[in-house]
Structure 1
Amino acid sequence: MSLYKLLSPKAFVELLQKETVRRVIPVDSTWYLPNLKRDGKKEYLEVERIPNAVYFDIDRIKDTNSPYPHMAPTIEQFNKGMSELGITKDDVLVVYDRIGTFSAPRCAWTLSMFGHNPVFLLNNFNLYKKAGYPLDTAKKTTYSGYETTSYKAHINLCSENVVSYETILDLVQKGNLKKKYNVYDARSLGRFEGREPEPRPNFPSGHISGTQPLPFTELLVESNALPESPEATKKKIEQVYKNLDDTFDPTKPTIVMCGTGVSACIVKTALEYAGITDVKLYDGSWTEWVLRSPPDLLANNRD
């Protein structure tokens, strides 16, 4: 079950007008794949943002001790990052990214894992902009306009919402991954099938045995938004299942993955929005699998 909710641009603007007690803080979490050679942090400072937004850097507020790109931060790392942004536990956070729906679900997931409430996912910035709602285009020099706080999260839900490499490895080696879980990979079909390169140089494409492709782009609609209702989202997912010959067993829990744990959160959000419960994230995803799995398993990554 998702711990954050989708919010339309219209509902977001209404929330800004109605909320008179708590601060409503937009959270820009724009991040791009390395091959696109774009910088979300730089664009936040120099291009445009929703007024009063802070910038949540998923390349920084993470487990900096891990060799893998976007592993969930420790509670200490999370608290430090939130404090530096000037966020308090009473703030209403509305997360977005300038792509539309890409890195924002990862940020919303991270915020929720450490108990921040409420958290909303704006659906989405492109529609907000198209509707003519306010934008701040002044050049900035800092990633937050708020004074530093002493943010104190007291819970970390990652252990019960994240699947480890060791768990995936054991399931694959015993031939039980597909038997016990619905496992979906959010990367493109070409990357999943080993026909297209990964965005990281000299990195093999392919997939883990027992997983199924569920490219996140197939779940989005106009302006890279998620469908506007749970019913429409469920219908969209079912159509993608059919197109890809995917299966879904409602009696099994579900695991989502991708390249580094970012776009998997898009699929997780969509599945949960459609009413599917017990969806966990393989945080290390394809990057960790390639770097850690035994040669014989990696050689069979195109089954």
Structure 2
Amino acid sequence: MSLYKIISPKDFIQLTKTTSKSRIITVDASWHMPNTNRSGLKEYKEGPRLPNSIFFDIDDVKDDQSSFPHMLPTVSIFNKKLSNLGLLPDDTLIVYDKIGNFASPRAAWTFTTLGHEGSVYLLNNYNDYLKLNKQDSESYPLEHGTIDKITSFAPTNYQVKKDHIKDQVIDIHEVKKLVDSGEIKNYNFFDARSFDRYSGAAPEPRAGLTSGHVPGTYSLPFLSLVNSETKGLLPKEELKEAILKTLNTTGAEFDPKKPTLTMCGTGVTGVIIKTALEESGLVDSSKLYDGSWTEWALTYGNQPVYVAKKE
């Protein structure tokens, strides 16, 4: 199961009324693809926001030595960034984004993978919260007005005691070894991008990047696992059926006895399907190939592009 928990807007409000052992801090982790002309930071500052929110930027809290976007930060970078945000190790965090569930699973996964000690919840989801706010703004409050800072908390000395990186991440060297040895057949390895990007029929959104997929991986598009309107993760009881139906549609295979890996374009939506697989009960735990297709294609771009076989 995921290191973080899924929470509905109603349960989130209930949590704020019952939890007193730690601070409850909402975390706006909104992030948008470059071609959308939207800025998560700008929208956070302009509002509305969930009360008591800070802004967590996956393009800032990252490995600054990597040439690939928003890669998982080192523990030292994580400590520094969270200290600047004014967080404490035992804070209860409610992570959300204004798309629904897009970058917020990535942010929640970052917190727990790097070893945040307090409870981390993924709000499912902000758009449902907005609907409830329109019905009852007192019970489901929003913070309005423009602000100029990403946190209202004073800096702290945040320190991680134990991370979970080895349990949560697989790197390109390990993936390449699995491919070259043929051992990849012993894994469920799912790609969250659209089937057309996976198959090579559609171009990647990043200029100059070849399309296709890592040999031995299967297609599991993340959009099939979220509500088409709100973009929230489907209810737990619907996830298993949706996953198996989608895998059948894309010609993928799933073996519950095999360990599971996930990936996508740059490690964002790969966490969505990772979360869905674990939440559905189909797998107990899984690992993310953080560099995903962008790293693979740019590293091994001189090799043949592996495309899906046509039936």
Does the TM-score normalized on the shorter chain lie above 0.5?
yes
If the length of structure 2 is used for normalisation, what is the TM-score? 0.93
Deviation at 1:301, TM superposition (A): 4.4
Deviation at 1:199, TM superposition (A): 1.7
Q: CA RMSD in A?
A: 1.4
| Alignment-mate amino acid for residue 168 of structure 1 | V
| Alignment-mate amino acid for residue 260 of structure 2 | T
Structure 1: distance between partners of 2:163 and 2:77: 12
Does 2:122 match 1:121? yes
Any stretches of 5+ residues in structure 2 without a counterpart? 134-139
Does 2:182 match 1:211? no
Per-residue CA shift, 1:26-69, capped at 9, x if unaligned?
A: 00000111121211111111132111100011001110111111
Does 2:256 match 1:238? no
Structure 2: distance between partners of 1:299 and 1:214: 19
Deviation at 1:22, TM superposition (A): 1.6
Asked if 2 retains the 8 angstrom alpha-carbon contact of 1:70 and 1:284, the reply is no
Per-residue CA shift, 1:142-194, capped at 9, x if unaligned?
A: 000111111111222112221110111112122331x1111100011111111
Structure 2: distance between partners of 1:16 and 1:262: 28
Secondary structure of 2:145's aligned partner: coil
Deviation at 1:244, TM superposition (A): 2.0
Structure 1: distance between partners of 2:202 and 2:248: 23
Secondary structure of 1:223's aligned partner: coil
Please identify, of 4-13 and 19-28, the stretch whose mean Cα deviation from structure 2 is larger.
19-28
Asked if 2 retains the 8 angstrom alpha-carbon contact of 1:114 and 1:154, the reply is no
Structure 2: distance between partners of 1:200 and 1:48: 31
**For residue 131 of structure 1, what is the aligned residue in structure 2?**
132
Asked if 2 retains the 8 angstrom alpha-carbon contact of 1:261 and 1:284, the reply is yes
Secondary structure of 1:295's aligned partner: coil
Does 2:195 match 1:184? no
| Alignment-mate amino acid for residue 217 of structure 1 | L
Deviation at 1:127, TM superposition (A): 0.5
Asked if 1 retains the 8 angstrom alpha-carbon contact of 2:210 and 2:301, the reply is no
Any stretches of 5+ residues in structure 1 without a counterpart? none
Per-residue CA shift, 1:195-236, capped at 9, x if unaligned?
A: 22212122221111111111100001241111223x222122
Secondary structure of 1:121's aligned partner: strand
After TM superposition, list the pairs within 5 Å mapping 1:264-279 onto structure 2: 264-275=270-281, 276-279=283-286
Does 2:262 match 1:262? no
If the length of structure 1 is used for normalisation, what is the TM-score? 0.95
Please identify, of 27-36 and 287-296, the stretch whose mean Cα deviation from structure 2 is larger.
287-296
Per-residue CA shift, 1:257-290, capped at 9, x if unaligned?
A: 0001011000000000011123110000001001
